[in-house]
């Protein structure tokens, strides 16, 4: 059996709450001069959990990290001896600073085939609860573009919306679809149309946490989640509604499904017109 070291690459969405998602793995063996990594190939995995994340930028950074690992492998195999500890390599490529990408502490194991090790660790630590279909499932952005935007455009709502930032106790939230009468009304597309039940549940729990943080804001907020429901798991609809529907003095949260998109748009434009009279 051969000894190896490995680190997990994580996207850290919020340093205050510690919310993260695993996005890659590095496997290293100085004795056998082996260094390799495997990262996610689509940013849908990130944005399905953290809708506010800039998936394209994160994926671009990950690909740069992957290229640097390849360069390091060539450099040490041709010119320099391999260092004993993996962290000596990775901390130069991805320093422990305020970056949203972080590395875990080095862990160790034994195996016969390092390529198989990498594949197994990636499957276990990164994609265990995610089918391949989930990475290309309907994204939050797709929900807006394909399910709701045409009705908001048709009824003249989109042009009336603006950006609004909500400051909370530990964080801030940006909304790019909002308007105000007595309070701010914000609209956010969220897809729950994923293949895997565990992914749907995880996303619901993460959103429940976000809504709890939003409720700490000093301003009252009316938030509508423009959702795409899980077509393959309709039994989860009541779970989603129960966990994410809120009504309190601080925040009012309602969910709209794509089947209600046009009727909701009609009601909304009437409300906006009445406010302007």
When pLDDT is averaged across residues 159-164 and rounded to a whole number, the result is: 94
Q: Tokens for 187?
A: 């609209």
Burial zone of 148 (CB within 10 Å; 0-12 exposed, 13-18 middle, 19+ buried): buried
pLDDT over 90 percentage in the chain: 53
Q: Is 138's pLDDT higher than 50?
A: yes
Rounded to whole angstroms, the Cα distance separating 86 from 91 reads 9
Report the chain's mean pLDDT, rounded to a whole number: 87
Distances, alpha carbon 167 to alpha carbons 160, 214, 216, in Å:
22, 8, 9
Rounded to whole angstroms, the Cα distance separating 134 from 44 reads 8
Burial zone of 71 (CB within 10 Å; 0-12 exposed, 13-18 middle, 19+ buried): exposed
Q: How many CB atoms lie within 10 A of CB 34?
A: 18
Rounded to whole angstroms, the Cα distance separating 275 from 270 reads 9
Distances, alpha carbon 176 to alpha carbons 82, 145, 225, 257, 276, in Å:
49, 14, 13, 19, 21
Which phi and psi angles does 22 have, rounded to 5°? Answer: -75, 135
Q: How many CB atoms lie within 10 A of CB 210?
A: 21
Bigger pLDDT: 51 vs 107: 107
The kind and range of the H/E element at 75 are helix 55-78
Q: What is the pLDDT of residues 41-84, one digit of tens each?
A: 888 778 777 777 888 899 999 999 999 998 888 877 666 778 89
Give the pLDDT score at 85. 93
Q: What is the pLDDT of residues 189-241, one digit of tens each?
A: 998 887 778 788 888 988 899 899 999 999 999 999 999 887 778 788 899 99
Q: Vertex 189, ends 186 and 191: CA angle to 5°?
A: 150
When pLDDT is averaged across residues 141-151 and rounded to a whole number, the result is: 90
Rounded to whole angstroms, the Cα distance separating 159 from 215 reads 28
Rounded to whole angstroms, the Cα distance separating 175 from 162 reads 8
Which of 5-14, 123-132, 214-223, 257-266 shows the lowest per-residue confidence on average (mean pLDDT)? 123-132
Give the pLDDT score at 233. 80
Q: Vertex 73, ends 71 and 76: CA angle to 5°?
A: 105
Distances, alpha carbon 198 to alpha carbons 131, 134, 181, 254, in Å:
10, 11, 39, 23
Rounded to whole angstroms, the Cα distance separating 198 from 188 reads 22
Non-local (6+) Cβ contacts of 67 within 8 A are: none
pTM for this one? 0.54
Query: What is the residue-wise DSSP string for 209-264?
Result: HHHHHHTTSSS-EEEEEEEE--TT-GGGHHHHHHHH-EESSSEEEEEE-GGGHHHH
Give the pLDDT score at 77. 66
Rounded to whole angstroms, the Cα distance separating 58 from 73 reads 23
């Amino acid at each position: 059996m051969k000894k190896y070291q490995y680190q997990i690459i994580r996207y850290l969405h919020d340093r205050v709450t510690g919310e993260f998602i695993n996005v890659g793995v590095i496997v290293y063996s100085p004795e056998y001069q082996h260094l390799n990594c495997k990262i996610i190939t689509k940013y849908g995995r990130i944005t399905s959990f953290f809708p506010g994340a800039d998936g394209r930028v994160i994926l671009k950074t990950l690909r740069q990290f992957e290229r640097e690992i390849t360069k390091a492998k060539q450099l040490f195999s041709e010119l320099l001896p391999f260092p004993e500890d993996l962290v000596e390599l990775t901390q130069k490529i991805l320093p422990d600073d305020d970056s949203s990408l972080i590395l875990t502490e080095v862990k160790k194991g034994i195996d016969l085939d390092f390529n198989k090790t990498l594949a197994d660790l990636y499957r276990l630590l990164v994609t265990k609860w995610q089918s391949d279909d989930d990475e290309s499932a309907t994204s939050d952005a797709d929900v807006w573009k394909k399910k709701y935007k045409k009705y908001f455009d048709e009824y003249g709502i989109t042009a009336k919306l603006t950006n609004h930032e909500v400051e909370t106790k530990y964080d801030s939230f940006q909304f790019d679809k909002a308007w105000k009468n007595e309070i701010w009304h914000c609209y956010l597309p969220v897809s729950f149309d994923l293949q895997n039940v565990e992914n749907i549940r995880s996303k619901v729990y993460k959103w429940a946490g976000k809504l709890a943080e939003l409720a700490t804001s000093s301003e009252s907020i009316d938030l509508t989640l423009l959702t795409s429901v899980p077509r393959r798991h309709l039994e989860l609809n009541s779970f989603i509604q129960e966990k994410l529907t809120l009504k309190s003095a601080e925040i009012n949260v309602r969910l709209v499904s794509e089947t209600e998109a046009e009727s909701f748009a009609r009601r909304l434009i009437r409300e906006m017109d009445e406010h302007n009279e």
